[in-house]
């Protein structure tokens, strides 16, 4: 079937319009299904589900508003998102009084990282946290002269910076990626593809898990993840990614492979963050998003998927 | 007078009140929401009328700001955090800031004479219909463990037993801005409010009840 949705024919405005339309349809479908479910099963407690869908409407609208604005606004918003995520992580850590100044330094890394991205200094953005912050943070921590728990503090802060600041900043890197011709897509559309596929994979894993879930996949890490949810969710998300192919320069087979890569990476990210939560003894990272938890509960998959997707695209398309 | 209505206010707004309200709207509340991330539990226990006595654990300068931010702006001028004059009025600049931004009731901690005795001052404030925020530990603690409560609060309540005491417990303030630091680290902080109580019994029983109320709030997990 020859589809009319090829990126050459659509142009940037058409691509944006189409993705907005598609996401709107998905959200409407979700709301309608929840409404039907409330009629059909009036005795079942669906408050969490209703809250989840409402939050999806809010998050999708906010995300589109941010993406469709100019790059500076989008990067500032991503910086705020990263700040909130790091704040949720740091709140759960066991911090010592001696860590105070180093934590400040870690938070200062956020605007700096997004500044490097904003001025298109890729080399700096990619080594700032893994090399410079990695070396500077423990050196600064030494000044507090509290060696009891030194390694734990330094490690946990660097891990947080890598996982959340460095990982999530790849969203900003993707947004500003200078793709080379003959590609006619923009970094922005690739970002939409990434976020859509990862989030739809989360949602579908949840749905498949809730309806058919039986055998737990990582029972000691995450009690809600099941094999049925994992396989069903990933497979259906990979198929859905074909709908979004117009946002990417990929061929059909490549789209499926890339989607598989990012959905599996997303699952790994979710599992890792679940393990982190278990370690801290909490159920959610925070309470920002009704029905979902904290900011990190929503972006944990992206922490893993974003860097892998970005570097794939950068390797093959720039 | 119905419980929901505020008592008739005889004091009008002064320029200081407007500055305080502006500071809270433009600086304090956005800071506490976005930088710190303040969460409130037990907001239904927030007293709706003056006077009341709010007691809390103390580990940070942020404590006072966080507690004041819970109230509607129009009530800020009737709520006075009790603060040590030797620290919070140590020079003209600090004095101006604390009196304007927080409406503190300055009290003496040392060299107490009949003139600057803090207990009659606090009693007079409550009897005039104003509310107080008091930190019975007397000073900022480490944040991890609560120190022993000083008995001053029981001595005050002996003279104004009709004033309800609202216990509060603050979480993570001491991690965010501990003693000795000047820049707060972003953490999610929490204010837990307990049921307002009317105190009864002798001084010792009152102190036990109040300390127990705050410790009980401390023991709740932040689920």
Q: Which among B186, B189, B222, B223 is the top mutation candidate for probing chain A, defined by the most A β-carbons within 10 Å of its own β-carbon?
A: B186
Q: Does residue B3 have a pLDDT over 70?
A: no
Q: How far is CA A9 from CA A4, A14, A67, A190, B219, in A?
A: 8, 9, 22, 17, 63
Residue B185 to residue A103, Cβ atoms within 8 A: yes
Query: Is the backbone of residue A194 left (phi > 0), alpha (psi -120 to 50) or beta?
Result: alpha
More confident of the two residues A147 and B138: A147
- At residue A109, the pLDDT reads 97
Candidate from A91, A103, A283 with C-beta closest to B188: A91
Q: Which residues of B touch A283 (CB under 8 A)?
A: 223
Complex confidence, ipTM: 0.87
Domain assignment of residue B9, yes or no: no
Interface A-B, measured as beta-carbon pairs within 8 A, has a size of 29
Query: 3-state class of B197 per DSSP?
Result: strand
Q: For residue range B20-51, list pLDDT tens digits in order.
A: 999 999 999 999 999 898 999 999 999 998 89
Domain assignment of residue B2, yes or no: no
Within a 10 A sphere around the Cβ of A132, how many other Cβ atoms? 13
Q: Which residues of B touch A86 (CB under 8 A)?
A: 186
Domain assignment of residue B133, yes or no: yes
Contact with chain B for residue A286, Cβ under 8 A: yes
Residue pair A246/A12 in contact (Cβ under 8 Å)? The answer is no
Residues 96-135 of B with CB under 8 A from A: none
Chain B: residue whose CA lies nearest to A93: B187
Within a 10 A sphere around the Cβ of B210, how many other Cβ atoms? 21
CA distance linking residue B185 with residue A107, whole number of Å: 8
Residue pair B56/B67 in contact (Cβ under 8 Å)? The answer is yes
Q: Does residue B8 have a pLDDT over 70?
A: no
pLDDT band at A8 (very low <50, low <70, confident <90, very high): low
- At residue B132, the pLDDT reads 93
- At residue A24, the pLDDT reads 92
Stretch A64-72: mean pLDDT, rounded?
90
Candidate from B172, B178, B183 with C-beta closest to A91: B172
**The two three-digit tokens of residue B112, written as one number:** 């107490």
What domain count does chain B have? 1
Domain assignment of residue B1, yes or no: no
Residue A83 to residue B186, Cβ atoms within 8 A: yes
pTM for the full predicted model:
0.90
Residue whose tokens read 């490690």 = A155
Domain assignment of residue B3, yes or no: no
Which CATH number do you get for residue B53?
3.40.1130.10
CA distance linking residue A152 with residue B113, whole number of Å: 51
User: Which residues 6+ apart lie within 8 Å of A248 measured at CB?
Assistant: A7, A185, A189, A190, A193, A255, A258
Residues 63-122 of A with CB under 8 A from B: 83-84, 86-88, 90-91, 95, 97, 100, 103-104, 107
**The two three-digit tokens of residue A201, written as one number:** 């994979």
Element (H, E) at B190: strand B189-193
Query: Considering all CA atoms of chain B, what is the largest pairwise distance in Å, rounded to the nearest integer?
Result: 47
Domain assignment of residue B7, yes or no: no
Contact with chain A for residue B41, Cβ under 8 A: no
Q: Does residue A72 have a pLDDT over 70?
A: yes
Residue A286 to residue B188, Cβ atoms within 8 A: yes
Q: Which residues of A touch B223 (CB under 8 A)?
A: 283
Helical pair A150-160 and A134-142, crossing angle rounded to 10 deg? 150
Q: For residue range A229-257, list pLDDT tens digits in order.
A: 999 999 999 999 998 888 888 889 999 99
Q: Does residue A150 have a pLDDT over 70?
A: yes
Domain assignment of residue B8, yes or no: no
Q: How far is CA A179 from CA A52, A251, A291, B136, in A?
A: 35, 16, 37, 63
Tell me which residue range forms the domain holding B131.
Answer: 15-218
Q: For residue range A301-312, list pLDDT tens digits in order.
A: 999 999 999 999
Domain assignment of residue B188, yes or no: yes
User: b/e map of A82-97 (b: 16 or more CB within 10 Å)?
Assistant: bbbbbbbbbbbbebbb
């Amino acid at each position: 079937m020859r589809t009319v949705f090829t990126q050459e024919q659509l142009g940037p405005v058409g691509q944006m319009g189409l993705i907005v339309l598609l996401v709107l349809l998905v959200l409407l479908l979700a709301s309608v299904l929840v409404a039907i479910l409330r009629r059909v099963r009036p005795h079942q407690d669906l408050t969490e589900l209703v809250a989840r869908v409402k939050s999806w409407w809010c998050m999708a609208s906010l995300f589109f508003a941010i993406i469709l604005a100019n790059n500076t606004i989008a990067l500032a918003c991503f910086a705020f998102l990263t700040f909130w995520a790091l704040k949720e992580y740091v709140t759960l850590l066991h911090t010592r009084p001696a860590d105070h100044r180093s934590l400040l330094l870690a938070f200062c890394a956020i605007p700096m990282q997004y500044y490097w991205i904003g001025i298109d200094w890729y080399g700096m953005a990619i080594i700032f946290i893994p090399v410079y912050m990695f070396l500077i943070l423990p050196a600064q921590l030494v000044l507090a002269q509290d060696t009891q728990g030194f390694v734990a503090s330094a490690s946990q802060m660097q891990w947080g910076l890598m996982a959340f600041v460095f990982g999530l900043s790849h969203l900003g890197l993707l947004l500003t990626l200078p793709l080379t011709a003959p590609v006619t897509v923009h970094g922005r559309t690739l970002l939409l593809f990434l976020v859509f596929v990862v989030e739809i994979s989360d949602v579908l894993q949840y749905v498949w898990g809730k309806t058919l879930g039986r055998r737990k996949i990582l029972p000691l890490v995450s009690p809600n993840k099941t094999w049925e949810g994992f396989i069903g969710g990933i497979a259906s998300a990979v198929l859905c990614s074909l709908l979004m192919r117009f946002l990417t320069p990929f061929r059909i087979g490549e789209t499926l492979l890339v989607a598989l890569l990012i959905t599996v990476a997303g699952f790994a990210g979710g599992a890792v963050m679940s393990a982190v939560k278990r370690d801290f003894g909490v159920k959610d990272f925070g309470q920002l998003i009704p029905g979902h938890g904290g900011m990190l509960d929503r972006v944990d998959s992206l922490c893993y998927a974003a860097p892998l997707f970005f570097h794939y695209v950068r390797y093959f398309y720039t | 007078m119905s419980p929901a209505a505020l008592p008739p206010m005889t004091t009008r707004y002064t320029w200081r009140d407007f500055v305080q309200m502006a500071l809270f709207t433009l600086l304090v509340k956005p800071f506490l929401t976005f930088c710190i991330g303040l969460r409130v539990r037990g907001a239904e226990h927030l007293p709706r009328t003056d006077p009341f006595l709010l007691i809390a654990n103390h580990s940070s300068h942020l404590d006072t700001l966080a507690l004041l931010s819970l109230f509607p702006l129009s009530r800020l001028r009737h709520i006075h955090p009790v603060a040590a004059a030797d620290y919070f009025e140590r020079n003209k600049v600090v004095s101006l800031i604390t009196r304007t931004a927080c409406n503190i009731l300055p009290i003496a901690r040392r060299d107490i004479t009949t003139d600057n005795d803090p207990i009659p001052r606090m009693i007079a404030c409550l009897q005039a219909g104003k509310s107080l925020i008091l930190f019975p530990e007397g000073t900022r603690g480490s944040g991890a463990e609560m120190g022993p409560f000083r008995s001053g609060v029981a001595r005050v309540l002996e003279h104004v037993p009709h004033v309800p005491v609202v216990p509060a417990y603050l979480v993570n303030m001491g991690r965010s801005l501990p003693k000795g630091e000047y820049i707060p680290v972003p953490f999610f902080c929490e204010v837990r409010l307990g049921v307002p109580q009317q105190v009864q019994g002798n001084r010792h029983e009152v102190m036990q009840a109040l300390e127990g109320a705050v410790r009980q709030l401390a023991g709740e997990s932040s689920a």
